[in-house]
Amino acid sequence: MARVGPHGIRTGRANVPEITPIMFSLQDMKGLVLPRTAVMSMRLMIHHTEEYPMEVKNTKRWLWAGALAVGLHAMAPAQAADDSLNVMIWGATWQSAIDEVSQGFTKDTGVKVNLVSQASSGEGLAKLQAMRDKPTVDVWFTTASVATRAMEDKQLFDQLPTELMPNLKELVSGSATAYYAPIYSYPTSIIYRTDLVAEPITSWADLWDPRFKKKLGMPDMGFFQGRLLMIAAGKDGGDPMDEKRGFEELEKLKPNVVLFFASDSQARQALAQGEASVMVGPTSHAKRIADAGFPVKVVSPRPTVMNYDVMMIVRGGKEDTAAKYINYLLSAPVNEEVAAKLGMAAVNVNSEQPADLKGMLPKAEDQYVPDEAVVNEHIARWIDIFKDKIAN
């Protein structure tokens, strides 16, 4: 007589389904790796045969065969799904660099990396949130500040599985969290045209000198997430997070600012065309302007506010492969290559820094890494104050 188990599953020989009699012993299955769903199914089936031992010997044999069939069925699509990864990242400059280094991952694993464009980290996050129920992106490149907001969405983003990512141990201390890992870092530096600036710039305070009236290109408050405010507050040795002092100093700086830029291209164009002779931004700008034939110099005075662009795993069903891909990018030789291609600083402590950056990067004691959670808490209000008092 059949009985019903605690989960509503009937037990007993009379209810065992007819299955094609392919017989597997435990010895036959030794060494076979099954998907997690198949293993769970097998455990559940065996649980019921052990709880209700009637004709358990025959029932177990049939259940092992059925569970194995489920497992093999689940394995085929899982393996096919791992043949590619979709990676969301910014435009041509980044895509070109990441596409080139990703070819090594494809060669090693057979997994093709497809790059998906985003205009900004904010736009990328909006796209991911719109596809939350069925993401088509597996790895997302973003800024640390946006990642700190995004990681609150536990349905959309997965924690980094440290057991699959040994290279996390080789990163700059404090640069990774449970939900994101850096791909590179870059300082917020002073970049100036040496043919347009007679006296060398050595400190942040120099930018407040009247000789730079209408000569500075500075980032909008929302661009680089409030870094300009931190620079102003900390330029004379103060606390970079002292917003009252920061806004007071920005009021004094206004006569020297010719534009507050809101994009990288706008900033580089202003410096290349001579509209601005000095700009504040990442060292990568200097490389591009120098490549265009203009003489530039970079200085990174104390406090140099550091920035990280990071990678996150999207819960799209390929989390393990995504983790292995990120781990690959964090390996010392690959991270070194990424940094060199983009003019950024490598984050693996065993990587060599790009030759172009030597002399531009700040000393460790001069670096300031803000708490992105605190920045996110205040940035909307900072932007409002900036628009009302500084940018008008």
The DSSP secondary structure of 21-59, one letter per residue, reads -----TTTTTT----HHHHHHHHHHHHHHHHS-TTHHHH
Residues 317 and 300 in one domain: no
Q: Is the peptide bond before 303 cis (omega within 30 degrees of 0)?
A: yes
On whether both 37 and 92 belong to a single domain, the answer is no
Does residue 365 form part of some domain? no
Residue 70 has pLDDT above 90, yes or no: no
Q: What is the CATH number of the domain that holds 193?
A: 3.40.190.10
Would residue 142 count as lying in a domain?
Answer: yes
Average confidence (pLDDT) over 81-97: 90
In a domain, 233, yes or no: yes
Same domain, 96 and 205: no
Last residue of a domain, one of 80, 113, 138: 80
What are the CA-CA distances from residue 229 to residues 21, 247, 295 (Å)?
73, 7, 28
pLDDT value of position 264: 85
User: How much is the average pLDDT of 348-354?
Assistant: 96
Q: Does residue 312 share a domain with residue 287?
A: no
Lowest mean pLDDT among 47-56, 127-136, 163-172, 202-211: 47-56
Domain end marker among 53, 80, 107: 80
Q: What is the pLDDT of residues 19-63, one digit of tens each?
A: 333 333 333 333 344 444 443 443 433 333 333 333 334 444 433
Quote the domain boundaries for residue 204: 187-306+370-390
Does 364 fall in a domain? no
- pLDDT, residue 364, reads 85
The confidence score (pLDDT) of residue 297 equals 95
Q: What is the DSSP string of 184-231?
A: EEEE-EEEEETTT-SSPP-SGGGGGSGGGTT-EEEE-TTTTTTHHHHH
Band the pLDDT of 284: cuts 50, 70, 90: confident
Higher-confidence residue of 271 and 26: namely 271
- Token pair 């099954």 is at which residue? 34
Q: What band does 149 get if pLDDT is binned at 50, 70 and 90?
A: very high
274 and 379 in a single domain? The answer is yes
Residues 44 and 96 in one domain: no
Domain co-membership, 96 together with 164: yes
Residues 384, 274 within the same domain: yes
User: Is residue 362 assigned to a domain?
Assistant: no
Structural domains in the chain (count): 3
Per residue in 310-347, pLDDT tens?
A: 999 999 999 999 999 999 999 999 999 999 999 899 99
pTM for the predicted model, two decimal places: 0.72
pLDDT at 359: 84
Residue 111 lies in a domain: yes
- Tell me, what's the pLDDT at 82? 64
Residue 352 falls within a domain, yes or no?
yes
Looking at the fold, whether 277 and 311 belong to one and the same domain comes out as no
Question: Is the predicted pLDDT of residue 239 greater than 70, yes or no?
Answer: yes
| Domain match, 285 and 218 both | yes
- The reply to whether 147 and 191 lie within a common domain is no
